[in-house]
Amino acid sequence: MPEFPWGAGAATGIGSLPGTDIAEAQRIVLGELPGLPHLPELPERGPGADMIGRTAGFLVELPVQVYAGRWQIASRPGTDLRRTADLLERDLDQLTEQADGYSGPLKIQAAGPWTLAANLDLPIGGRMLRDPGAVRDLTASLAEGLRRHVADVRKRVPGATVLLQLDEPSLPTVLAGQVPTESGLSAYRKVDGPDAASRLRTVVEAVDTPVIVHCCAPEVPLQVIRDARAAAVAFDLSLFKDLDPLGEAIEAGLGIFAGAAPTRAVAGRRPESKQIADRVRTLWQRLGFPAARLPGQVVITPACGLAGAPMGYARALLKACAEAGRRIAEV
């Protein structure tokens, strides 16, 4: 079995949390997820804290701005980009302060190149996805920006093994040719699997750190993710139907971030670690792998981000994920 850059029975969050207080969010993550904490994202803070704006802030020599409620490529840096950079700097300062002395795996997140291309507009209108040359330039810019970001986090938390999560919720629709144009009357071209994997691999190779590709949509493209040489895939367990490709990916050594904890709060019910652990164990048994292999290859996570959950529930859910990880490590 391959070596993974996290401990047995690890648990982590997907990224987003509710609220606007980064100091509180970072305390919660470090407190509840001591084995594999992550840099929290707080999209409620507005433009620049959202997934697309936050990631667009990493682009090198491709400034962005908000126009008509959407992010687009701009001719020069402006106030939107400065706000994005300021929010990220605050987040990193909190990480530096609160993770002082930390040693172990630490996860950071950014949108992947295909989700960025499907949601970022060209200056002349339309998504960047419409222009293969623009997608190539975007990918190269993102790869360099994320390489610098990873290096910065390593300097700030020198004891950490940095893991990069690329969020790709739009990847299945990109592959299927189902990303709608501005008019909504047609869709952008279908991208084939090898091309999709090639762009992802550009980022994976540039950052020189283990990469997890997260896709909480149905029909996770496991072959594309494997061909991109990602270290792991993160997905919503409730949306996964076809187990054969998953079994092949696990056999090939792909790490699994299993989204086994529901993100929707139910009145009067708290997350239960036993149920979360049992869901993961049941999947593993159906796949037919040895129980001893489970704790090292699988990381337990919420099904997706927690920005829309009440803070109390989000905290309880992260704690339950960590307890579920300890349960599966007891095998």
Banded pLDDT at 262 (limits 50, 70, 90): confident
Q: Calculate the dihedral angle through the C-alpha atoms of 308, 181, 214, 191, rounding to the nearest 10 degrees.
A: 170
Q: Using 50, 70 and 90 to split pLDDT, how confident is the model at 331?
A: low
- Return d(Cα 160, Cα 5) in angstroms, integer: 11
| Alpha helices, DSSP H, located in the chain | 22-32, 51-56, 79-98, 113-119, 132-156, 171-176, 193-207, 222-227, 243-251, 273-287, 294-297, 311-329
Q: Over pLDDT 90: what percentage of the chain?
A: 88
Phi and psi at residue 208, in whole multiples of 5°? 55, 45
* pLDDT tens, residue by residue, 166-209: 999 999 999 999 999 987 788 999 999 999 999 999 999 999 99
Does residue 214 carry a pLDDT above 70? yes
- In tens, the pLDDT along 64-121 reads 999 989 999 999 999 999 999 999 999 999 999 999 999 999 999 999 999 999 999 9
Mean pLDDT in residue range 132-160: 97
DSSP line for 111-140 = E-HHHHHHHSB-TTSSBGGG-HHHHHHHHH
Alpha-carbon distance of 10 to 324, in angstroms, equals 9
Domains of the chain, residue spans:
22-329
Computed over every residue of the chain, the mean pLDDT equals: 94
pLDDT for residue 237 is more than 80:
yes
What pLDDT score does 124 carry?
86
Q: Which pLDDT belongs to residue 268?
A: 57
The pLDDT of 33-54, averaged and rounded, is: 97
CA dihedral 192, 212, 285, 318 (to 10 degrees): -130
Q: What is the CATH number of domain 22-329?
A: 3.20.20.210
